[in-house]
Structure 1
Amino acid sequence: MSPQRRRQLTFFLIIGIALLAILLGFLYSRLVAPVQSAKAAATATSVSFYATVEAATGPDAIEVNGIPYVSMQPYTWDGLRIDIERVDYDAWPLVHLANQFNKEPPPGRRMIMITLRITSLVAEERLFISGSRFRLVGEKQEPYTTFDDRSYCGVIPEPLEGEIAPGESLRGNICFVAPADEKRFLLEYDSHRYDKGPVYFMLPGGSSASSQEGM
């Protein structure tokens, strides 16, 4: 083989190897890398999810009003962080201002309005959040909802309602009508998506018959 012929073969061999390397890199970026990225994201989601589960039932979970696993951490089973920003234990004036057609609570009962900030930590999809996911439970262990006739407040300012994507937060109010003499309230959250049951959070300042507490 002549020297010129060898140089030509060497040149085409180098070009072929370079093109093959480019093709392999393209296939890796389109096929392999997305799969590995998805696996890594799924692993991170799984680790974060079980971290929230552990926090909800960790050693600092306590029993209140006969209810076990009252969480001292602001986490839920489905990867949410729930921060209680403010509690108004005499919310009728604000509710009345929100809508003049709202009905005043009957004698012996009061309106309790809670301001929440909810952050999606590990959810893989957009979640719709509203007050229907929450109930109020006092020392009498009777649950109060946001929609039952006996505990419904009416039209309230900035109601908690909307969708949140992973990493996003939603802020709003929920409201309950409860006996004026009941104390030691817990906020119950239930996603109805897992068999773990609801998670309970203590409300600040629940020993007073009329007070406002901010966090």
Structure 2
Amino acid sequence: MRGLPNRLTTGSPDELAGIWRGAFLAAGSLTEPGRSAVLEVACPSSEAAMALVGAAHRIGIAAKAREVRGLPRVVVREGEAIRAILVAMGARRTAATWEEMRQRREVRAGVNRLVNFDDANLRRSAQAAVAACARVERALEILGDDVPDHLRTAGNLRLAHRDASLDELGHHADPPLTKDAVAGRIRRLLAMADKRAQQEGIPGTEAAVPAGLED
């Protein structure tokens, strides 16, 4: 068997997550958050690597196979994808710690950009954007698959264009939206997430805002 048995790669999501857990425990590594952050698994063959990539895709996680110095590897690079694969493997505490480190790095990068702004209004706008994105990310995490499509789209627009004004976000929408429509949808997204958080007794969206930043 050069790759993985077909009965495993076509198994249930729990079985596929179990495959990843075993592979990661055997030959995996995880770097700290940053521009080159990566979760990586060394594989004994290219067939095994492709089977592992397929298993990841079947549970909704983007992974790629590559070869480094003749050794097949499977890599997961996007921050959200890394957090998701850690959760799927059952490493929830590690996922939370890694995500917290990632957010701190992003906030520090944002704050470092702030010190270069001469205009106080630009500084406040940048602070508000960092805070708003932190709340939207937390809202999408709280609601998971229960987010209505139009609210998810508005939230994803905010995260994809972090420095854009509400008016600019409306122009990026398809079809275009007014800034009031974008603002209303984001408000409803946050309100829905905060209500769910209160019901479940977990931190709401405000808890995601870094200390010292204004929403």
* Greater fraction of residues in helix: 2
Q: TM exceeds 0.5?
A: no
User: Taking structure 2 as the reference length, what is the TM-score of the superposition?
Assistant: 0.27
User: Taking structure 1 as the reference length, what is the TM-score of the superposition?
Assistant: 0.27
Choose between structure 1 and 2 for higher RCO, CA contacts under 8 A separated by at least 6 residues: 1
- Bigger Rg, structure 1 or 2: 1
